[in-house]
Chains A and B, each alone.
Chain A
Amino acid sequence: MSDDQLVAAIAGASNDALAELYRRHAPWLLARLRHRCADDGIVAEALQDTFVAVWKAATSFDGRGAAGAWLWGIAIRQLIGKLRKRHPEPMVLDERWGRAVSAEELVLFGTEHGDLAGALDRLSPELRAVVQATVLDGLTTREAGHLLGIPAGTVKSRMTRARAEMRGALV
């Protein structure tokens, strides 16, 4: 059964399908969540809530995107939800910052080729974390702020700096 078929079966209340989806996806989600949060307790909670959320949201999965990306979207947001309980709301946000990542950024940070990878590695850890959260995880500025425990304004300014540094490195 494909992942899409599994999600469809979960929408029809199949426990076996959920168990199979868990078997396939929980391990890599766990590994990836651990790259975002060092506290295994929080990661385990987020992973648990991810699959509970999958059960509830299965009927609304439209099958247009990859199931893997859909799952990660749920998982990272569950993690942010947990982290938010730890860190207080950073600050009031301007909604303009909540926009999606542009195509230019995806190209800019498309990291498969040598120079770009080098440029990314040369970024300071703070800047790299911001790039990772917004570009890779597809988070909004606000969500990235929650994940990293910094105000959204800081996310925004670090992103600007990261963009500039990487452009510089590529010239």
Chain B
Amino acid sequence: MDTFDLTYVHVHQLIKSYGRQTALDGVSLDLGPGITGLLGRNGAGKTTLLRILATGLASSSGVVRVLGEDPHDAAGRIAIRRQLGYVPQESALYESFTPFDFVDYVAILKEHTDRADRHAEVRRVLDAVDLGDVTRKKIRKLSGGMKRRVSLAQALLGDPRLLVLDEPTVGLDPEQRLRFRQLISRHADRRCVVLSTHMTEDVEALCDRVIVINEGVVRFDGTPVELTDTARGNVWIADRPDPGALVSWRTGEGRHRHIGSAPADAELVAPTLQDGYLLLSGGLSEEVAA
């Protein structure tokens, strides 16, 4: 296997605009095997990037190669789709179907033609996401976390080489999130997983690599440890609140944690990945801070 085979995704100077609005403004990245996490605010361009990688959206300009194929080419698109698992952001299910019916439906679309084999594969992926008990329950009777897992199950069909997951952990409770991490880390061996999330814990626990996107531009691309390190020397604990800090909050121990320049009488503490992310994205966005 030459090195090219290990580049699952190659994106160079990717631009995507909707009318006058620019969603992605010159994104370049290469993804190999392992798990990459996309961090960023709502509207930062994460979903747009993932939709382009999943062949659901055309780019405006730039180079996109997924699994060595060009999604702008009809044949290339089909070749990508044969090795792709995709969880779109919005939970897209037929409520009157059962999880079995729904995943079977996607399996038919994914060209699993032999019925017995297909049904066995459907059961396998539903078991993998711990839905074995409810495969024959109507989807409308399932909880939000279960519905999310149905979406995840269909993405695992056929053990795809590339897994594109748009906010897969939304709606999962802490235990389900742990199970999700186990499942994905098992899958990521010699495959490429790219996921977007709001939760820095997910990135910390799961990803080999983290990419921070802000306003359509890649702000950071490196390991989670490197992202944490960007905040080293900028995180402080003090007894009083500091109005000058980028972000500042009162911790459970009654002291105040600050990110930014040093306030008076403060001691330097070890940063977390979240600190690095907050510092990089310039603190809280205005709507949240207001």
Query: Which A residues contact B (CB, under 8 angstroms)?
Result: 12-17
Q: Please encode chain B, from 97 to 130, with 1 for each CB lying within 8 Å of some chain A CB and 0 for all others.
A: 0100000000000000000000000000000000
Can you name 17 A-B pairs with beta carbons within 8 Å? A12-B137, A13-B98, A13-B134, A13-B136, A13-B137, A13-B138, A14-B133, A14-B134, A14-B137, A15-B132, A15-B133, A15-B134, A15-B135, A15-B136, A16-B132, A16-B133, A17-B133
Contacts of A12 in B (CB 8 A): 137
Contacts of B132 in A (CB 8 A): 15-16
**Total interface residues in chain B, CB < 8 Å:** 8
Contacts of B98 in A (CB 8 A): 13
Further contacts, 15 of them, CB under 8 A, given A14-B134, A15-B132: A12-B137, A13-B98, A13-B134, A13-B136, A13-B137, A13-B138, A14-B133, A14-B137, A15-B133, A15-B134, A15-B135, A15-B136, A16-B132, A16-B133, A17-B133
Give the total number of A-B pairs whose CB atoms are below 8 A apart.
Answer: 17
Contacts of B134 in A (CB 8 A): 13-15
Contacts of A15 in B (CB 8 A): 132-136
Q: In angstroms, how far is the closest chain A Cβ from the Cβ of B187?
A: 23
Contacts of A14 in B (CB 8 A): 133-134, 137
Contacts of B135 in A (CB 8 A): 15
**Docked complex: B134-163 residues within 8 A CB-CB of A:** 134-138
Cα separation A15 to B130 with both chains bound (whole Å): 12
Chain A: which residue is nearest B127 at the CB level?
A15
Q: In angstroms, how far is the closest chain B Cβ from the Cβ of A17?
A: 8
Q: In angstroms, how far is the closest chain A Cβ from the Cβ of B242?
A: 54
Cα separation A14 to B138 with both chains bound (whole Å): 11
Chain B: which residue is nearest A13 at the CB level?
B137
Cα separation A106 to B98 with both chains bound (whole Å): 46
Q: In angstroms, how far is the closest chain A Cβ from the Cβ of B83?
A: 30
Contacts of A17 in B (CB 8 A): 133
Cα separation A14 to B134 with both chains bound (whole Å): 6
Instruction: Among B98, B133, B134, B136, find the residue whose CB has the most chain A CB atoms closer than 10 A.
Output: B133
**Docked complex: B236-272 residues within 8 A CB-CB of A:** none
Q: In angstroms, how far is the closest chain B Cβ from the Cβ of A120?
A: 44
Chain A: which residue is nearest B135 at the CB level?
A15
Cα separation A14 to B203 with both chains bound (whole Å): 34
Chain A: which residue is nearest B138 at the CB level?
A13
Chain A: which residue is nearest B123 at the CB level?
A15
Chain B: which residue is nearest A17 at the CB level?
B133
Chain A: which residue is nearest B141 at the CB level?
A13
Chain B: which residue is nearest A14 at the CB level?
B133
Q: In angstroms, how far is the closest chain A Cβ from the Cβ of B128?
A: 15
